[in-house]
Amino acid sequence: MIHTSPQLTPREEHAFWLEILEDHAHFAHDHLAPEETADIQQAASYIQAFGALRKQLAAIPPGLPAAHADMIQFSRQAYPVANGYFRFEGSLQSRRILNRININLTPTYFNGTLLENEEYLRILSFYMQGMEFPELPLAALLDMWLEDQLGHAVLLRNVLDPVELLLTEKASGFSQLFQVHMTKNRALTGYLRFIAPGFPDQQQFAKEVRETVQQFYAFVVEVVRRYQGTTVLSRTTLRFLEHHFPESCYFLRKLALYDPSAGSFENCPLTKPSF
């Protein structure tokens, strides 16, 4: 399906978040050591649960409002699964901090995935009541998704083979840009104590962030193309690389709610192309 509007329907929101959380469950599953059998089984059960919800969602008509009985029922089915997975990842994170589990993911990695899970739970808290959810204010939106983009840049740099110096340097450059953006967003957020949101510099900043996200997106497209052609050395998977695309497009679509000049989204899908 081609997405041309920044405003998402409830069905599109569900479809995006369920795919993202299913990916997160795959990543946890793939990075657990073989001896962590109970956690591997639990991660696998969440992969199946999110997959089942996605199949169920596909049978629901796309244009139903949040107040429709089918959407309310679906939201109430999705919430315990998303909340259960939130607590599962929280357990993985806390045990990783205390070195009580063998998993090749860092505690800060889980900060990012848990933050995203929390946002879906926030959205579901409204959907379960048949209500549309309030969009995040621009400052909060930037705070959340700039952290995500930074994480993607750092992870991409880390999964590339050390001999891929040109690519790792480019990834490092994007990580620095996202850190610069995060620093400015924190300052702009402070200004909101005494000035209304949407002041000119904040609007200009949102456009600068959009341009950086679009440039990084194009870079990841190139890395994926090379990965598929086996012309780049790494230790990652296609699912891990393509996970960047829907999250970036979601961020760009939400940014466009504050920037009417953002343009079309025909080439920015909310799903991974290969899965």
Tens-of-pLDDT digits for all 275 residues of the chain?
334 567 899 999 999 999 999 999 999 999 999 999 999 999 999 999 999 999 999 999 999 999 999 999 999 999 999 999 999 999 999 999 999 999 999 999 999 999 999 999 999 999 999 999 999 999 999 999 999 999 999 999 999 999 999 999 999 999 999 999 999 999 999 999 999 999 999 999 999 999 999 999 999 999 999 999 999 999 999 999 999 999 999 999 999 999 878 777 778 999 999 98
Tokens of residue 91, six digits: 């357990």
65 vs 71, 136, 169, CA distance in Å?
Answer: 7, 19, 45
**Alpha-carbon span 97 to 87, nearest angstrom:** 15
Tokens of residue 132, six digits: 């549309």
For 66-135, give the secondary structure using H, E and C.
CCCHHHHHHHHHHHHHHHHHHHHHHHHHHHHHCCCCCECCCHHHHHHHHHHHHHHHHHHHHHCCCCCCCC
Question: What are the CB-based long-range contacts (under 8 Å, 24+) for 202-208?
Answer: 202/138, 202/139, 203/258, 203/259, 205/142, 205/181, 206/138, 206/142, 206/255, 206/258, 206/259, 207/259, 207/261, 208/181
42 vs 96, 213, 237, 250, CA distance in Å?
Answer: 16, 34, 21, 28
Nearest to 274 by CA among 19, 56, 8: 19
Nearest to 107 by CA among 118, 95, 116: 95
pTM, to two decimals: 0.95
At 146-185, the pLDDT tens digits run 999 999 999 999 999 999 999 999 999 999 999 999 999 9
